[in-house]
Amino acid sequence: MTTTHDDSPLVSVTGLQESLDSGRPPVLLDVRWQLGGPPGIEDYTAGHLPGARFVALDTDLAAPAGPPGRGGRHPLPDPEEFGAALRRLGVSADRPVVVYDGATSLAAARAWWLLRWAGHPDVRVLDGGFAAWQEAGLPVTTEVPPAGDGDFKPVPGQLPVVDADGAAAWARDALLLDARAGERYRGETEPIDPRAGHIPGAVSAPTTENVGPDGRFRPAAELAARFRELGAGERGTAVYCGSGVTAAHQILALAVAGLPATLYPGSWSEWSSDEARPVAVTDQPG
């Protein structure tokens, strides 16, 4: 569905095959995860891309959940601990990395964003994930590779972030996108966080609409048109979701469209747990 190119944050199954057969194959990271489980390690154990190592999103790609109003459910990981985990996974500064999840890249995007935030220069997401690999009839394995001996040392801050006050300013002065499902934005339901609704001024932009039924990203031109219709452009764009996972997917889609964006890592889980923060429950940004 999506044709990838050299500077795209995505890689197709064919492109990954070619990279794996080259003299400089990428490190493969399996980031299968979904909110509420079951644990992604079960899917990994049942079968994964040859050579891939499993990444636990809740522990490898996040610090422990913060107290109410601070950090949210998936705070950014401690750089030292994150670096140690990446080195065990075989990540090195001079070797490309490809991350994948089950199909939609919702979880893989968190790994992509964190690696880029930490300063890794060459990270891509397998478009369509494990499902696309299987659909192509390519081999999978249950063999678990030994721990890696990577040398990557994070230099955090290479991608922009904002805190709650910053998110409020983006909503007021520029564009703040809410990547959650529309019913959560509208306050019709809230399955996990303390309060329902959205940050006043934020615009609803469910990130699931960035991919097709097969889990692959829509073409770059379609994504660019979607985001510009939502108001992306000269004012700049920031994104939040429930806890900074699907917001990373939105930022990945924006990157495919050639549009930069800023992440609010604490997202709704942080905002809604702070009683001093206002909440909007309409179907409009206000």
38 preceded by a cis bond (ω within 30 of 0)? yes
How far apart CA 51 and CA 133 sit, in angstroms, is 14
Dihedral of CA atoms 103, 107, 108, 111 in degrees, nearest 10, equals 180
Phi-psi region of 20 (alpha: psi -120 to 50; beta: other; left: phi over 0): alpha
Catalytic amino acids? 241
Tokens matching residue 79: 């750089």
3-state percent helix, strand, coil for the chain, nearest multiple of 5: 30, 10, 55
Ordered DSSP codes for 159-207: S-B--HHHHHHHHHHSEEEE-S-HHHHTTS--SSSSS-SB-TT-EE--G
Tokens matching residue 160: 């922009």
Dihedral of CA atoms 4, 115, 191, 73 in degrees, nearest 10, equals -170
